[in-house]
Amino acid sequence: MIKVAPSILSADYVNLQKDIEKVEKAGAPYLHIDVMDGTFVPSISYGPGFVKAIRSITNMVLDVHLMVESPEHILPMFIDAGADIIGVQVEATQHIHRALQIIKNGGVKAEVVINPGTPVAMIEPVLHMVDQVLVMTVNPGFGGQKFLPETVDKIAQLNAIKEEKDYNFDIEVDGGVNDKTVVDCYKAGATVAVAGSYVFNAEDPSERIKALEDATK
């Protein structure tokens, strides 16, 4: 069964605490937080203060995805804010190994992220040091996009490397995830699914979380 990570990018910011409480009570283990700088992606979102505030109101695993140029400069702030997992885009830094080292040295789980147009080979040299790999199943920066089916091959490639090398990282998918698209991802080896609009745009988010879990049993 897949682990569900509701993305607050699609939550109601005015009633954010209530929305977080809903998905926590529904049993979702992770809360996905997209940090965007307006440069690596067109959108702008939250900073470390936002993560710190959320840390104070939930016991969920805070899964922070940095869509930020040169993330190594701001990693200590997100470590101090209480993130449990921090993901950095391989395309956003010339120093992916250093960035992941900073995260690990801060006592936080490290994640490497690849966009739809980036081959798995780009991250193979650092797979031995990560706790999670995030495969973007849409182009990053906006919620509500349609799932790109060609990205499923990347999940399978990563899973093959994981089994061959006896690595134990989670494989996370993000973008256009629903109870239909999650099935192929799960079969290919995905273990965590980020879901934004699919969960938070529903009248009852708990039903959508259960639908994702049930689809991957």
Tell me which of 84, 166, 174, 214 is the catalytic residue: 174
19 is catalytic: no
Torsion of CA 181, 182, 183, 189, to 10 degrees: 130
Which of these is catalytic: 12, 19, 34, 214? 34
Please report, as a single letter, which amino acid is at residue 18. Answer: K
Q: In Å, how far from its chain's centre is CA 22?
A: 19
170 is catalytic: no
d(CA 208, CA 181): 13
Residue 4 · residue 29 · CB < 8 Å: yes
Question: Considering only CA atoms, which of 187, 215, 199, 204 is closest in space to residue 11?
Answer: 199
What are the start-end ranges of the H helices in the chain? 16-25, 48-55, 75-81, 96-105, 152-165, 181-188, 197-200, 205-215
Distance CA 19, CA 66 (A): 22
Q: Which residues are catalytic?
A: 34, 174
